Amino acid sequence: MRLLAGRSIAVRLAASSLFWSFLILLVAGVTLSTLYTQATERSFDERLLVYANDLAADLVTPGDPEQRGLGTLGEPRFDIPLSGWYWQVGRLDARPRDIRASRSLLGNPLPSLAESSADRPFGQIRKDYAAGPEDRVLRVLERDIDLGEDGRFVVRLAGPADEISAARSRFFVLLLVTFSLLGAALGLSTLFQIRFGLKPLIDLGAAVSAIRRGHSERIEGRYPSDIAPLAEELNLLLEANREILERARTQVGNLAHALKTPLSVITNDARGSSDELALRVREQAVIMRDQVDYYLNRARAAALAGTLGAVTDVGPVVEALARTFGKIYRERGLEITVEAPDGIRFRGERQDLEEMVGNLVDNACKWAKGRVSVSASLTSAGDRSFLRLVVDDDGPGLPAEAREEALRRGRRLDETKPGSGLGLSIVDELAVHHGGSLRLGASPFGGTRAELELLGDRSL
């Protein structure tokens, strides 16, 4: 059972069915082979018994038993030397010269199946295998005949045991071929039954996958009575998940407004005074606002990253952001180019993608001298697809040792540029929540390259 741990249901069912089928066929084959061997021996013994009865009938014919003629019993092989078919008749205590035998024996005695003694039980028919002339294995039948005043005689008949072995071998070959074909048919039918029986589960898995990829919002279709409750429970779970996420989004928004409004009031009031206390209050209020923005974004990302079925077309979002930042930085004359093929999608909420790409483009525009490039592509790794977003600028760039530092929360490498130092860290947090990552490197334009990798998909 440990070997099947973690295996699919189909593999477990197939292995179990094939094991028991093989075991049943093996037991049936051994049983049939044994029964056939016994039947073959019984038929062979009956044939020998017929010959023994013919010899016994000749013995009870009136006259001197020693002078009676014993024929060939209708079997020419009794006359062929060492043919394997032999008969022998003699008294219990007869000398070898007084024993009558078939010509095929050439004077060799047949083995006895019981000791020759006075208290030997008469009237029995004994059957067994024994070695005959030339050490050939024979099937021997021995019968005692009591002729009263004429004495007691022993009739022995023997036939070659290899005829039984040959018949048994032929039967075994036929049995092996038949059971092999039967086993193959059973295996194929088992695989078909497993495939047919598990198809509703396969369809259910495909339906859940379609929801995860954003191709559907709920599980549709008809399922067997034992699976239909599971499909219904999954639909209810999806609806409950959407409601929880919607409530979380509402509460995060409410908290943001509840905190930002007092902070704005404090900042405005402090801005009207130039004393040291007002400056400190204004400074701390700005820090508090930045911290609130950061942690609210983290909370919102954690809530929305688990949304099932949320997908966003990448092209329209990137192009809209490029137009927006083109207008914001119009005075600097920046050239923002976009390369986003149709059909590429992000597995997540639109606002998350807007926030990640927007932060990266905004950061690139702050440092760029005149050019910013945004490109999107889809790559595959195993059975998963990843969205790769690359933002390049022609600014001064970042040295390798400063790239890790730039992703830390609140780190600003240049205080002359506006911002809180939270943009890249927020992007990194959101990327991790969406099963991706953010890497900084060198741009072919001479500036910085921000490479964002997220779970993606291609529209049908």
In the chain, the percentage of residues whose pLDDT exceeds 90 is 14
The pLDDT, as a whole number, for residue 121 is 63
Per-residue pLDDT of 300-344, as tens digits, reads: 655 555 555 577 888 888 899 888 888 888 888 888 888 988 888
Q: What pLDDT does 412 receive? A: 46
- Would you say residue 1 has pLDDT above 80? no
- Going by pLDDT thresholds of 50, 70 and 90, the confidence category of residue 415 is very low
Summarize pLDDT for 13-67 with one digit per residue, the tens: 888 888 888 899 999 999 999 999 999 999 999 999 888 888 887 776 654 444 4
pLDDT band at 72 (very low <50, low <70, confident <90, very high): low
Note the maximum CA span of the chain.
156
Distance CA 87, CA 74 (A): 13
**pLDDT at position 13, please?**
80
pTM above 0.75, yes or no: no
Q: According to the per-residue pLDDT averaged within each range, which of 175-184, 228-237, 394-403 is highest? A: 175-184
CB atoms within 10 A of CB 15: 13
Check whether 395 has a pLDDT greater than 50.
yes
* Nearest partner of 71 among 45, 51, 85, judged by Cα: 51
What is the percentage of the chain residues whose pLDDT exceeds 70?
A: 80
Mind spelling out the 3-state secondary structure of the chain? CHHHCCCCHHHHHHHHHHHHHHHHHHHHHHHHHHHHHHHHHHHHHHHHHHHHHHHHHHHCCCCCHHHCCCCCCCCHHHCCCCCCCEEEEEECCCCHHHCEECHHHCCCCCCCCCCCCCCCCCCCEEEEEEECHHHCEEEEEEEEEECHHHCEEEEEEEEEHHHHHHHHHHHHHHHHHHHHHHHHHHHHHHHHHHHHHHHHHHHHHHHHHHHHHCCCCCCCCCCCCCCHHHHHHHHHHHHHHHHHHHHHHHHHHHHHHHHHHHHHHHHHHHHCCCCHHHHHHHHHHHHHHHHHHHHHHHHHHHHHCCCCCCCEEHHHHHHHHHHHHHHHCHHHCCEEEEECCCCEEECCCHHHHHHHHHHHHHHHHHHCCCEEEEEEEEEEECCEEEEEEEEEECCCCCCHHHHHHHCCCCCCCCCCCCCCCCHHHHHHHHHHHCCCEEEEEECCCCCEEEEEEEEEEECC
Residue 267, judged by CB atoms within 10 A of its CB (0-12, 13-18, 19+), counts as: middle
- pLDDT value for 141: 93
Residues 92-113 have a mean pLDDT of 80
For residue 359, which amino acid is it? N
Residue 417 has pLDDT above 60, yes or no: no
- Tens digits of per-residue pLDDT, 142-200? 888 877 667 778 888 999 999 999 999 999 999 999 999 998 888 888 888 888 888 88
Q: What is the pLDDT of residue 181?
A: 92
Read off the pLDDT band of 426 (50, 70, 90): confident
pLDDT of residue 414: 45
Rounded CA separation 206/135 (Å): 72
pLDDT tens per residue across span 344-389: 888 887 888 888 888 899 888 988 888 999 999 888 776 678 888 9
pLDDT of residue 413: 42
What pLDDT score was predicted for residue 205?
80
14 vs 84, higher pLDDT: 84
Q: What is the mean pLDDT of the chain?
A: 79
More confident residue, 457 or 184: 184
pLDDT in the model for residue 303: 56
Six-digit token string for 216: 């559907």
Q: Which range (184-198, 263-277, 376-390, 431-445) has the least confidence?
A: 263-277
More confident residue, 68 or 457: 457
Provide mean pLDDT across the span 233-254: 77
